[in-house]
Chains A and B, each alone.
Chain A
Amino acid sequence: MNEWIGGTLIVIGLVFDFLGCLGLVRFPDVYTRLQAAAKCITVGTCGILLGLFIFKGFSATGIKALLCLAFIILTAPVSAHALARSAYRSGVKPWGGTVIDEYDRGRGG
């Protein structure tokens, strides 16, 4: 029973990973690519790690998988935020079809 639940979680994680990478290839802009890829790949890898935890139970490998999951959930949004901020500050323009740029308006530009 544990193996079926873990396998289902791994399959959900794989689907999220694949669609996130497809968004990384197909979107037109740095910010939209980041928006598509960061969330999807974080959720996908966390699904794989949770599936590994359910496969292994409360053993050493399972606890290490939970530790790795907590670390990825804490750090992936931080690095995505830093990348978006540095891309904006280094002068990468948004895509031509962008409707609103709140960050520019907030800085009084």
Chain B
Amino acid sequence: MKILRYISGLIVLAVIVALNIFYPLPSMLGWQSDFLTRAFLLLLVSAVLCLFRILRGPTAADRAVAIDMLGILIVGFCAILSIPTGRDWYIDVGIAWALQSFIGIMALAKFMEGKDFDE
């Protein structure tokens, strides 16, 4: 039963990635926009995997790890989105997001360890 679950999950993931790479998009803006759209969709698949681990992590530490990784992935989202849209402030959003995510994760780690916030 376990091997059946693994194989079905592998097939679903492989179909999603293959559709993401080979499905023809109606591209009007040239190869750059097409390539960056596919890159953004692949990052979205990674974020959905992180959300799965947040949803059913057995302990609180699993959820904290997945939230940290999702915070770093969103910086990648902002970096990719700033190329085809031509708006430069997306990378500012990325810098601010990285800073806030770091401070929040440090506070969460101190809280899970059971200490006060002043070490």
Contact = CB atoms under 8 A, between A and B. Distances in A.
Interface in A18-49: 18, 20-22, 24-25, 30, 33-34, 37-38, 41-42, 44-45, 48-49
Interface in A58-79: 60-61, 64-65, 67-68, 71-72, 75-76, 78-79
Given A72-B75, A79-B106, A64 B65 contact: no
Interface residues of A, number: 48
Nearest to A45: B76
A28 B34 CA distance: 37
Nearest to B35: A7
Contacts, number: 139
B72 A92 contact: no
Interface of chain B: mostly helix, strand, loop or mixed = helix
A45 B75 contact: yes
A79 B69 CA distance: 10
B91 A61 contact: yes
B98 A68 contact: yes
Contact of B69 (A7, A20, A48, A49): A20
Contacts of A64: 88, 91-92, 95
A45 B95 contact: no
A68 B62 contact: no
The interface centre, meaning the residue of A11, A56, A79, A90 with most chain B CB atoms within 10 A of its CB, is A79
Contact of A67 (B80, B95, B105): B95
22 contacts: A20-B69, A22-B49, A25-B52, A30-B61, A30-B65, A41-B73, A49-B76, A55-B83, A61-B82, A61-B88, A64-B88, A64-B92, A68-B95, A72-B75, A72-B98, A82-B109, A83-B61, A85-B113, A86-B61, A86-B64, A86-B109, A90-B112
